[in-house]
Each structure stands twice: as C-alpha cells, then as structure tokens.
Amino acid sequence: MPLLIREDEVAELLTMREAMTAVEAAFAHQARGAGSNHPRARLFVPRGVLHHMAASLPGFPQPGQGVMGTKTYTSFEGGTRFWVMLYSAENGDLLAMVEADRLGQMRTGAATGVAARHMARPEATVAALLGTGWQARSQVAALKEALPKLREIRAVGRDQARRIAFCREMTDELELPVTPAHSVEAATHNAQVLVCATTAREPILKGEWLAPGTFVAAVGANRVSAREIDEETVARADVVAVDDVAQARAEAAELIFAHEKRRFAWERARPLSDIVAGRAPGRENPEQITLFKSLGVALEDVAVAATVYQKARTRGVGSEF
C-alpha cells in the first residue's frame, strides 16, 4: 500500500547529505539518458495558481526500482501547499504521497550544494548569502556540506532583527560562523561563493562586484518577472549552468534579459547534469567566474522523494492508505 508522508516526517527522515547524494545521482543518471524532466507549467485561476511538473528516473536509485512522479502545488492568498506523488517506474503503482514544503526546501539547497561542489573553487573559505528566509536555511547547510574548507558565511537581509536571529540560529545549528552583514556589497566583498535566495524583483547583485574565481548561485527567482542578478553578472560568467535548459528558457529572467541585451547566448547554457557527469567542465581554472541558475526541477523532487520513501519504509514512518 502507498504511504502518506507528512511534513514533520520528511524533516525527521531527510538530511542534507542524503538530499545532495540523491540530487547528484539523479543528474548523473539523467546525463546517461536514463532520466527525463518535464518543465513547470502554471495554470492561473482568478484567485491563485496551480503549478505542475514531472520527472522520470527509470532504474533509480537502483536497477529494478525506478521511480517517476509529479510535483503539484497551489499558490493562493492563504499560502502555498506542495505535494509530490511518487510512482514506481516498473509497474506504475503509487508508492507515496509526500507533503513537500520541507522536501522542496532541502532539494533546492541540495542543488546549490551539488553545483558548488562541481563549480566553486574547492579551497573556498568565505561565502555570502543574500536572503535570510525559508530557502536560505537549506542553502547554508548545503554550502557547509559541499565546501569542507568553508570558514565563514556572511548573511544579509532586509529585516535586521530576522538577519541577526538567522545568523545566531544557523551558527548554532551548523557549528560554523554565520555573521550578519549590513549590505549586499559588504557581504560579497572577497567572498569566493555568492548565493542569492531572495524574493527580489530587481537585481540586487551587481557583476562589477565579482572577483575572479567567484561562484554565484541564483536561486530565488523562477519566473520572468523577477531577477536577483544583473546582466553584467551573467556576461562575466565563464561557465553558466542550469538545472534544466528548457525550463530556463521559459523562467530564468536573468538569462532571458541578458540574452535580449546580447550579453548572453543560450548556446552557453550547460545542463548541470553534464557537469556532474563530467561531460562538461564546471570550471577550468581558479580565475573563472562560474554561475548556476537554479530554477528547481521535478527531477530533484522525485529523486529526494525516493530517498524519503525508502527511509520511511525502512523505519516504519508514514501512514499506509
């Protein structure tokens, strides 16, 4: 019988290391031609939006146990509610229905962590985080997991009280100094890794601030009406990776704007799956600026949901229905 897995159970079961392992393996799987991703579609109604995306991973996490699934969520005045439906790719059975707000937060952080592992300088010691909201928490956890030499994360957000509280809580949780910065420019000064996880509609990160060798992850925007980084940031990037090229062409406003201003060519966009699989370099020398534009794709959700489902079965967590 399928399992119903609730938010608190996902939080209990899933670690960042496991989420990153699942996402990295799924991208490698996709690069071998054994996985497919269907970009997000949005259906608008007078009072809200239905978002829908899907992916398949035959033979994942191991031969004979392939999975496929959908992520569907609604955004209305009362909030956003997320669900992943996980199916067997062997016989079509429904395996689990997973409440997926926490799952989505973790897989978004995991994608940044995987990109940082392959695209940032491995000796990076200082990171800057722009944003101190819900998504920011998994971003810092992923950076710590991906970059073992990291010694400091600077965080900046619009609300001073929340910024200070965030830094205190994440320092305690990660046992790594997370310190508040008073401005974006101050946070990014001499940082080798920059992560944008905000709700900004207009760019807050300027390309002129980037030092050679910087890795940038733009995470917060996944619609054409919002940008976190400017065209100069995109133009200066020697390597530009996305989690799905088709989805990026429809949603990645930063790349779309840069393309329209002739600062970026879509032929330069590399699937993160190719970088993970070694088919394309994440960086070729320490001086290169690298950029990962994250949109959040169903391939990541399905892979992480499969990990949650396997652990739930092993530990007897969740409710059969």
pLDDT tens track for 37-49 = 999 999 999 999 9
The mean pLDDT value of the chain amounts to: 96
Question: What's the predicted TM-score (pTM) here?
Answer: 0.96
Q: What is the pLDDT of residues 249-294, one digit of tens each?
A: 999 999 999 999 999 999 999 999 999 999 999 999 999 999 999 9
- The β-bridge relationship of strands 36-45 and 48-57 is antiparallel
Rounded to an integer, what distance in angstroms lies between the CA atom of residue 242 and that of residue 257? 15
Rounded to an integer, what distance in angstroms lies between the CA atom of residue 148 and that of residue 116? 11
Domain with CATH 3.40.50.720 in the chain: 119-296
Per-residue pLDDT, 221: 84
| Phi, psi at 74, each rounded to 5° | -115, 140
Q: Is the peptide bond before 180 cis (omega within 30 degrees of 0)?
A: no
Per-residue pLDDT, 62: 82
* Cβ contacts of 92 within 8 Å, gap of 6 or more: none
Rounded to an integer, what distance in angstroms lies between the CA atom of residue 176 and that of residue 105? 20
For 241-249, what is the mean pLDDT?
Answer: 96
| Phi, psi at 171, each rounded to 5° | -60, -45
Residue 224 has pLDDT above 90, yes or no: no
Per-residue pLDDT, 273: 97
Residue 61 has pLDDT above 90, yes or no: no
Per-residue pLDDT, 237: 98
Rounded to 5 degrees, what angle do the CA atoms 7, 11, 14 make?
125
From the options 2.40.37.10, 3.40.1190.10, 3.40.50.720, 3.40.640.10, give the CATH code of 119-296.
3.40.50.720
Share of the chain above pLDDT 70, in %: 100
Residue pointed to by tokens 């600062």: 263
Which CATH architecture fits 3-104+299-320?
2-Layer Sandwich (3.30)
The alpha carbon dihedral of 25, 28, 30, 35 has a sign of negative
Residue 146 has pLDDT above 90, yes or no: yes
Domain with CATH 3.30.1780.10 in the chain: 3-104+299-320
Residue 73 has pLDDT above 90, yes or no: yes
Rounded to an integer, what distance in angstroms lies between the CA atom of residue 160 and that of residue 307? 37
